[in-house]
Amino acid sequence: MGYKPNPLVTANMAAMRSGRRHITVEAILAYFYDYANGTPYTLPSLKGARGRAAELGFALEAFPYNDPDVTPRRLLSILRNRNIQGILIGESQIPIPHIEFEWEDFALVSIGYTLQSPRVDRIGFDHAEKLSQLFQDLSIRNYKRVGLAMSSDLDNRVSHSPTASYLSYQFEQHSSDKIPLFLERDRWNKAAFLEWFHRNNPDCVVTVGNDAMNWLIDEGIRCPEDVGLFSIWAIEGEPPQNHSDFNVSLELLAKTAIEELADRLNSNTRGIPLRRLSILLSSDRVYRHSLRPVAANE
């Protein structure tokens, strides 16, 4: 085919063909992470990426991209000495404005939406699609007054897709009595949330994380008996709850990221792309016990 064959693949296939089936040329991929976060080996994305890499015949090793004692030039030389040809840039909770490195010779993929520069291909979840389906589904469950309550920082992190989807849903409702968004930064607290809740009387709250549910439980308000609740995703480190959510896992994103990286190695696609691809994975909605069921005759 028109592809330039990848030398590692070719070497491995040659070894296979010559009958030395147990001699494999092990290819190493790099996992780039923020030095400030300390050890990356507990990160779910590294775990998921390592597992899938191993299945595809790669070893994955973690390197901090901003170790103060290692210049970008030194890091490049380390990667070259190890014959590393692919880099997975791990996820970050906060925006990364820029990573200084010579990217040209490497196949590249990043996890999530927080890396701003370089503009490499990135893997994320298809929040916009799932949110739009969610609001349709809440209508089918006969919720009439759905409110959105979340911290504005979390909305920022996913390119405002929760607010955009909610406002679009609200627009389609053609209701004259619209519930205002509770999208707060400094006022993301129990008192302000409950004030918003009691003033607007939603029959279902869409949120992120556990705060809203905990605040409702503290007030003796029950889900789904008194109000429906859907938490778009769980916040890392919070204990798992019994509310409905999207099944989004960084492990799954990382597996897909490794597959994409392997594809780029196979097709010898290197460096920062002319046009970045955003590769969005469908997630499942998981209904636990915080929404009422779909009525049989509706």
Decide if residue 4 touches its own copies (CB under 8 A).
no
Decide if residue 2 touches its own copies (CB under 8 A).
yes
Decide if residue 78 touches its own copies (CB under 8 A).
no
Decide if residue 51 touches its own copies (CB under 8 A).
no
Nearer to its own copies, 178 or 190 (CB): 178
Cβ neighbors of 266 (< 8 A, separation 6 or more) are 3, 6, 9
Order the strands of the 86-89 sheet from edge to edge: 58-64, 27-33, 86-89, 107-111, 122-125
Amino acid, single-letter form, for residue 179: I
- Contact pattern from residue 183 through residue 222 relative to its own copies, giving x for each residue in contact according to CB under 8 A and a dash for the rest: ----------------------------------------
Cβ neighbors of 222 (< 8 A, separation 6 or more) are 216
Helix/strand/coil for 248? coil
Contact present, 186 and 242 (Cβ < 8 Å): no
Site residue total, its own copies (CB under 8 A): 45
Single residue of 23, 56, 59, 94 touching its own copies by CB under 8 A? 56
Nearer to its own copies, 15 or 192 (CB): 15
Decide if residue 7 touches its own copies (CB under 8 A).
no
Amino acid, single-letter form, for residue 251: E
Q: How far is CA 20 from CA 25, 27, 51, in A?
A: 11, 17, 25
Single residue of 8, 99, 109, 216 touching its own copies by CB under 8 A? 8
Half-sphere exposure of 13 (CA within 13 A, CB side): 7
Decide if residue 15 touches its own copies (CB under 8 A).
no
Decide if residue 23 touches its own copies (CB under 8 A).
no
Decide if residue 240 touches its own copies (CB under 8 A).
no
Decide if residue 165 touches its own copies (CB under 8 A).
yes
| Phi, psi dihedral angles at 14 (to 5 degrees) | -65, -40
Distance CA 53, CA 85 (A): 14
Decide if residue 280 touches its own copies (CB under 8 A).
yes
Single residue of 62, 70, 164, 221 touching its own copies by CB under 8 A? 164
Quote the radius of gyration of the chain (alpha carbons, Å).
23
Owner of token pair 């099944």: 247
Decide if residue 272 touches its own copies (CB under 8 A).
no
Decide if residue 175 touches its own copies (CB under 8 A).
no
Distance CA 257, CA 34 (A): 18
Single residue of 7, 278, 286, 289 touching its own copies by CB under 8 A? 278
Binding site for its own copies (CB under 8 A): 1-3, 5, 8-10, 12-13, 27, 55-58, 119, 126, 128-129, 132, 159-161, 163-165, 167-168, 171, 181, 252, 256, 259, 262-263, 266-267, 275-283
